[in-house]
Amino acid sequence: MSIALCKPTRPEDASPAFETGRKLGIVEMALMWKVLHEDPQCPSRVVLEKVAQRQVPMAVSVRHLNRLRAKWNLNRRKGRPGHPALSHPVCAGAALVQITPHLSFVGVHLFAHWLDHQETFTSVVARLQQAVEAYKHTYPDDDFALLHHREQTLLRRLQALFFAPLLGIETLTGFDTHEHPLPTLLGRGYHSATLSQFLGQLERINAAEALRPALMPDTVSPMTYVDGHMIAYWSRRSMHKGKLTMLGRIMAGSQAVIAHNEAGQALFVAY
């Protein structure tokens, strides 16, 4: 009975039989094969750098290494190596979600969220509602939009005026000409006509007197100083000339007197 001899199979991860070469010994070749087997797509120049980091003296060129890679079937595909994606540890059972925000003025949104958490506008809206009710009682025959605003409407319009400077809007007409994130910030956008009407109706009910306690500081400073300001008027009409000088010319202007405390907070303003 004859027995056929068969050559034992070697697993794919097994290293090839190394032979001592003119430039590389068995230990150096085994180390080179190990680095290539860990990352077959690694460029040859990077492989030499990794081997050098292990403090193994080796005088081998990239061309020589490429011949060994072809012999070991560990060639990398042609082209520049791609940048590996950043890997972050993920909890077991959790799905990895990548979000790319497309939101302008992110800082203003975070600031608005913090103000909501502090309930900063709550006292302002409550005092404004009291002013509306007082006006209704004093003038029962008057009727305009502000007298019928809901609490949410008052809050949104006050917030639109409050956040306008933070969004780069210097005048009310900027709401019509500049792109702003009010829809994502407040849930809806506003035009200058709406807010101008809102400001006019606030002045009509004398909202300044009702909102002044909420806007003034809680603590009274022991020192107060008074400062005067001149604001120029640009107009073609004949006006009384003040003492404001601009570009060598005397221009008409308004005179404002403002009282500040030690912290620089305004306590009183008069024109």
Convert the pLDDT of each residue in 150-194 to its tens digit: 999 999 999 999 999 998 888 888 888 888 888 888 888 898 999
Which two three-digit tokens encode residue 150?
């809901």
Percent of the chain surpassing pLDDT 90 = 18
From 24-28, 36-40, 46-50, 122-126, the region with the lowest mean pLDDT: 24-28
Least confident of 131-145, 213-227, 242-256: 242-256
Comparing 107-116, 168-177, 242-251, the range with the smallest average pLDDT is 242-251
Residue 228 CB burial class (10 angstroms; 0-12, 13-18, ≥19): exposed
The whole-angstrom separation of Cα 225 and Cα 64 is: 84
- 23 or 82, which is more confident: 23
pLDDT at 151: 92
- The size of the chain, in residues, is 271
Residue 100 has pLDDT above 80, yes or no: no
Beta pairing class for 224-232 and 244-246: unpaired
pLDDT of residue 1: 45
The model's pTM: 0.48
Tokens 């190990």 map to which residue? 34
**Of 129 and 104, which is predicted with more confidence?**
129
What six digits make up the tokens of 208? 């300044």
Quick one: which of 205, 215, 204 has its CA closest to 124? Answer: 215
CB 136 within 8 A of CB 147: yes
pLDDT at residue 269, rounded to an integer: 81
The DSSP output letter for 270 is: E
Q: How far apart are CA 159 and CA 153, in angstroms?
A: 10
> Does residue 84 have a pLDDT over 60?
no
Q: How far apart are CA 267 and CA 144, in angstroms?
A: 31
Task: Report helix, strand or coil for 106.
Answer: helix
pLDDT reported for residue 187: 85
Which range (11-25, 57-71, 121-135, 221-235) has the least confidence?
Answer: 11-25
The answer on pLDDT for 87 being more than 80 is no
The beta strand positions in 99-252, using DSSP E, are: 224-232, 244-246, 249-251
- What the block records as the tokens of 33 is 């094969």
User: pLDDT at position 220, please?
Assistant: 63
* Residue 259 host element (H or E): strand 253-261
Q: Is the pLDDT of residue 244 over 60?
A: no
